[in-house]
Amino acid sequence: VQLQASGGGLVQPGGSLRLSCAASGSGFSIDGMGWYRQAPGNQRDLVADISNYLSTRIADSVKGRFTISRDNAKNTLYLQMTNLKPEDTAVYYCNVRGVWHSGAPGDYWGQGTLVTVSS
């Protein structure tokens, strides 16, 4: 499974960005998808995730500002980020979990996209 994340960049405080993560590969059934972020010197933390049934978990630090969604037909994950703050600056990683047709589980990470919130 290959994951291609995009949409990061430099934005001023209060601005918005939309991240996308497209998953490709055959023979793999995707269950959960999620976004994580890692700021310099920090561990990688969950931002939000979404199940195959569209139930979501959102970190308290971004609740009310970030929205996670997915398009199952396109195997694409999104993160709409609004009212961005300097503390949101980090590399954002997408994660996909599921099962191969063989029955083996899979857990994959994208390459990361940098979000910088600064004036």
- Confidence (pLDDT) at 81: 98
- Confidence (pLDDT) at 55: 95
Q: Which H or E run contains 68?
A: strand 66-71
Q: Are strands 17-24 and 2-6 parallel, antiparallel or unpaired?
A: antiparallel
Digits of tens for pLDDT over the chain (119 positions)? 899 999 999 999 999 999 999 998 888 999 999 999 999 999 999 999 999 999 999 999 999 999 999 999 999 999 999 999 999 999 999 999 999 999 999 999 999 999 999 99
- Residue the block writes with tokens 């993160």: 79
DSSP string covering the chain, please? -EEEEE--EEE-TT--EEEEEEEE-SSEEEEEEEEEEE-TTS--EEEEEE-TT--EEE-TTTTTTEEEEEETTTTEEEEEE-S--GGG-EEEEEEEEEEETTS-EEEEE---EEEEE--
- Confidence (pLDDT) at 12: 98
- Confidence (pLDDT) at 26: 85
